[in-house]
Structure 1
């Protein structure tokens, strides 16, 4: 049980650290644009029980120029 919780915690930390936060376009590299794009991706890919939505949202942000 403890090892399962530990593995889940590690995956959660890695998933959060891989979320893109810098845009390729300097004009779009600001907090307002980031929040707008993040909300757009969150609405496009709603939360799924399996956690696949996190990878989909990261890919969505990558398509919008965030890395």
Structure 2
């Protein structure tokens, strides 16, 4: 008899059910206190941001015509 294929998860152990609070505590997360904490310098310039937004807009509406 052959062993089960690696993608066969029928014999996998069930994971314990943890609450959201327990999962957050395990990761030692902290609440967001300011929107500044979420800020990221993704684009190097306003021009680069504008190019990205124009591209995104064009791609979203490409098949609508």
Q: Same fold (TM over 0.5)?
A: no
Higher RCO (CA 8 Å, separation ≥ 6 residues): 1
Q: TM-score, normalised by structure 1?
A: 0.28
Work out which of the two has the higher radius of gyration on C-alpha atoms and give 1 or 2. Answer: 2
